[in-house]
Structure 1
């Protein structure tokens, strides 16, 4: 990528200052009025204050690092991955013994009336107190269930792997957004420079036209025309300043930071993507092998295939080993009765009203849905790769054409300035040439960073995080 030569003021202003000097008035001509003191327009004052406030310079690598650290969508994706890994541990628990324990201790009192059995014997109420302790431990170990537990465990591992791939895809999308926003800031920054240069040229030309009108060598309509051109340049500068500030606010959002935009960005040149001129089929194959979202979909399909087998296993029994120990008595240390038992248990749901069959049909339908989504994703990958590749080619050619257009527009402006000084041209011709040069400069800026953006999009569509850049200075 070639740096844009913003040299408008470097060659226009010296030519205007030296070649458009007003001629000395003739003795019969009225003495020209003293020109008003030069004042800096508000738009230029604001532009200078904006430039002075940009103390920090951040690079593309720093912007990407900030996004990795602060972007909420990455934290959300990480939380999803942690949850998926926790579900793997949950499914693994089915292989381990399930142990339960309970204990109770009760104290009670019972009262009964004593009847006089022998004349003269005492009568009244007798109270009896009771104490009882009960404690037990039971354990259950799955021995065999026709692959249902192992199937759930393997399915959860595939799902967790799919979530990890999805997290990687989210990272690639975030970096793509950061790069796009970063290049947009560079675009708006360069366009702001074009607007500043244009306003400075219009200001210088206004001074020269004003002097020529004062000495009578040019009509007053030229002055009005040039004042209009300067006012239009001020409007464009204000709009460029707003677009630049908005672009930096959008960059902050893609980085996930909530700070001020009192910074500027370092200009970078984006190198060609490896293989960007290869045949489409080769690039598509490379994308299908590298993209995390494709890998995630593949693992989701495998997880659902395992889930179908797990669901079908509901037709079969499960075999478990059981054991228990209980201790019953007045207290657990004295007079208690200890009993131990163990055995095997076979659980078989012989009839569930067609539940398992319905669940199997649902699982198969979900599998077909995921397979269709996988095919849709393959088609989307092909379309994205083709679009990104075509955009790179188109923007390369557009940049070449924009370079030529800017050279031609610069020469046209030079000739228009010369014709105006020689008295054979008019101010409208100069104004049109200035507008054409400004548009050509803006077009070159847009083509330059459109190429950088399209290469970032191609890298994302190919499933790579790497983007080769070289820092450059303007």
Structure 2
């Protein structure tokens, strides 16, 4: 069994202290015979005094602790987020508390045993046949009470606690799924922002080439200053857009780092947006997805567990006024300190007790009514959760299908825009095209690049949302890591 961390830290210190003590003994032990030795020379004594006046040397710097492992993929980010997220940790603690409460409820089926040890001094009043006197006693006694039979109240309370345990565990599962979805969405958005930066960087280079071509044509006398100014304006606009996209990428990188429990200033090299998103040729039928969500969604299962717990509580409240049959037993012994004339006395009792509440106001009636209303409300909330889960599956399904179509269309748009920009650039270099046609074609190419990047990112986000809506926790698709991209 490995030693605790504190023990591992203290052990080198203890070893060092022991070594110093042994070394000190070996050095100081001969000092007992100083009087038998000759005194040191004066120069040695002066050197010793000067050495003692010097400040002690600075301690050697301790090595810095190794930095945490740098995340390299989406799986690494999700793992770090699950370790650091306080919400998932709170839901895990809620599940532990609910499990402890369920264990406490099961104690209702066990007997209750208690012991007392009184020591008292009392004054007994005088009666016609006996004068008043004082006595001092001490003793010990034990009582046992065990409920044998009720109308199902204990079983209903245990069922309520068990259903609340299920709800707490499902709440933890839902929190984990939500965290995974947030990390995936932020991850895809960050990769999309970096891809947009790269695309805009290519647009800046194209604008610089167009400006150089316009200046060359102006020097050759086949273009006017207006062409140069328009090309320069397009270059400035492209650079401005690049700066804005770089800022958005940094914001998303900080958000992703914070989700993973890292400082927002950390550099993240977690891959690039896949250049070729594989679009599913055919999605599963939406009816099958709805059935899967109804069976696996932690949100819906949690709402149903809460409704079952409320129904069990209503059953317990409805029989709270019922009779209870219990087994009771007790035994005790009393010793008299004063007066000593009395000897010790032993008493015991055993029997069955039937408790029947007759009247306790109208509180039990109103408690039962409130519990039944709360159970009906919880059942209605479970129906609402079922509708929300179904709507989430439907919306995510349609979003994913639309995103797949957008990817295909964006690819065609990018191909045609690239060809159009190449033709416009060639026509302008040959002197048969205008600068306005060239800039318009380049602007269309820039827009097509951005739309194609956004379409790929939207498809990945839609896939993650559909995975979450159907109640799954695994990552929806493998993402390329920084190592494989290079």
Normalised TM-score (structure 1): 0.78
Quick one: distance in 1 between partners of 2:443 and 2:214?
17
Between 1:250-259 and 1:264-273, the stretch displaced more is 264-273
In structure 1, the residue matched to 2:64 is none
Say whether the 8 Å CA contact 1:392–1:451 is kept in structure 2. Answer: yes
Q: Does 1:321 align with 2:331?
A: no
Q: Does 1:469 align with 2:475?
A: no
Quick one: distance in 2 between partners of 1:77 and 1:133?
51
Say whether the 8 Å CA contact 1:191–1:445 is kept in structure 2. Answer: yes
- Which residues in structure 2 correspond to 1:201-350 (within 5 Å)? 201-267=206-272, 269=274, 277-330=283-336, 336-350=344-358
- CA distance 1:237–1:379, shift in 2 (3 Å): same
Between 1:179-188 and 1:422-431, the stretch displaced more is 422-431
Q: CA deviation at 1:164?
A: 1.1
In structure 1, the residue matched to 2:432 is 424
Q: CA deviation at 1:137?
A: 2.2
In structure 2, the residue matched to 1:352 is 360
**Secondary structure of the corresponding residue to residue 353 of structure 1:** coil
Say whether the 8 Å CA contact 1:185–1:265 is kept in structure 2. Answer: no
Q: CA deviation at 1:310?
A: 1.1
Quick one: distance in 1 between partners of 2:168 and 2:299?
9
- CA distance 1:108–1:384, shift in 2 (3 Å): closer
In structure 1, the residue matched to 2:191 is 186
Higher relative contact order (CA 8 A, sep 6+): 1
**Secondary structure of the corresponding residue to residue 469 of structure 1:** coil
Q: CA deviation at 1:107?
A: 7.4
**Secondary structure of the corresponding residue to residue 310 of structure 1:** helix
**Secondary structure of the corresponding residue to residue 266 of structure 1:** coil
In structure 1, the residue matched to 2:468 is 460
Q: 2:72 aligns with which of 46, 49, 58?
A: 58
Q: CA deviation at 1:352?
A: 2.2
Deviation string for 1:429-457 (max 9, x for gaps)?
Answer: 21111111111000000001101110111
Deviation string for 1:17-39 (max 9, x for gaps)?
Answer: xxxxxxxxxxxxxxxxxxxxxxx
Q: CA deviation at 1:309?
A: 1.8
- CA distance 1:295–1:365, shift in 2 (3 Å): same
Between 1:322-331 and 1:220-229, the stretch displaced more is 322-331
Quick one: distance in 2 between partners of 1:227 and 1:248?
32
Say whether the 8 Å CA contact 2:279–2:404 is kept in structure 1. Answer: no
Quick one: distance in 2 between partners of 1:437 and 1:271?
23
In structure 1, the residue matched to 2:103 is 89
In structure 1, the residue matched to 2:29 is none
- CA distance 1:470–1:258, shift in 2 (3 Å): closer
How many residue pairs end up in the alignment? 400
- CA RMSD after TM alignment: 2.6
In structure 1, the residue matched to 2:115 is 101
Normalised TM-score (structure 2): 0.76
Q: CA deviation at 1:159?
A: 1.4
Quick one: distance in 1 between partners of 2:431 and 2:445?
22
Off by >6 Å, runs of 4+ in structure 1: none
- CA distance 1:308–1:182, shift in 2 (3 Å): same
- Structure 2: give runs of 5+ residues left out of the alignment: 1-68, 124-132
Q: Does 1:371 align with 2:379?
A: yes
Deviation string for 1:342-364 (max 9, x for gaps)?
Answer: 22222211122232222221121
Say whether the 8 Å CA contact 1:272–1:455 is kept in structure 2. Answer: no
- Which residues in structure 2 correspond to 1:21-100 (within 5 Å)? 58-100=72-114
Between 1:97-106 and 1:432-441, the stretch displaced more is 97-106
Q: CA deviation at 1:279?
A: 2.8
Q: CA deviation at 1:335?
A: 6.0
Say whether the 8 Å CA contact 2:195–2:273 is kept in structure 1. Answer: no
Q: 1:445 aligns with which of 447, 450, 453?
A: 453
Q: 1:399 aligns with which of 399, 407, 422?
A: 407
In structure 2, the residue matched to 1:18 is none
- Structure 1: give runs of 5+ residues left out of the alignment: 1-54, 110-127
